[in-house]
A and B are shown apart, each in its own frame.
Chain A
Amino acid sequence: DVVLTQTPPTLSATIGQSVSISCRSSQSLLHSNGNTYLHWLLQRPGQSPQLLIYLVSRLESGVPNRFSGSGSGTDFTLKISGVEAEDLGVYYCVQGTHAPLTFGSGTKLEIK
């Protein structure tokens, strides 16, 4: 199975600060069809996860554009440009290129 390694495991930020989360895959996530099925989720406290970014860099409808995704192959990054209070929670990367679907271990974002 593909292993996704997220760093850092925890992140503490002030309002307005920009932060990045890394997700590294044990193998390339480039599918033979040319797509890279690497997505980012946010799980706010007490809530179900929600999709933020899909296919590496595409912003899900309704998600603020302070969120952005980048990367290719095995290295991916989620960036939040100007953290807001509502951004606290746990961020997960997830890959669907190789069965089975696998998730990173999560990065907890705390607001100082």
Chain B
Amino acid sequence: QVQMKETGPGLVQTTQTLSVTCTVSGFSLTSYGVHWVRQAPGKGLEWMGIIWGDGSTNYNSALKSRLSISRDTSKSQVFLTMNSLQTDDTAVYYCVNWELDYWGQGVMVTVSS
């Protein structure tokens, strides 16, 4: 059974760096990709990026300069790192499997000065 779970800080200061971990089970990261999607409070869904099974990545062009997605296949973990945070980065951050049929519960991150 596929499961995805995000863990991360609830609060981050402006200008600091966000790190969120997605731990997956039920499939291999070397076979399937994992997306990161975020949702600001009361807003819609925004695709952030993906790490593919071969380890390559693609990013939302609006976030590309601040965003990095990596993984540790031995731990079945995918990492999202985003720097220079601002208050409008406040959102729920989701990891999602490549086919969009398994979503984590999301982690709420508040960016505050």
Contacts and interface: CB of A to CB of B under 8 A. Distances in A.
Interface of A: 39, 41, 48-51, 54, 60, 92, 94, 96, 99-106
Contacts of A99: 58
A59 B103 CA distance: 17
Interface residues of B, number: 17
Interface in B43-57: 44-47, 50
Nearest to A60: B101
Nearest to A49: B103
Contacts of A51: 99-101
Chain B interface SS verdict (over half): loop
Contacts of B106: 48
A54 B47 contact: no
A48 B44 CA distance: 12
B61 interface: yes
B94 A48 contact: yes
B47 A102 contact: yes
A102 B100 CA distance: 12
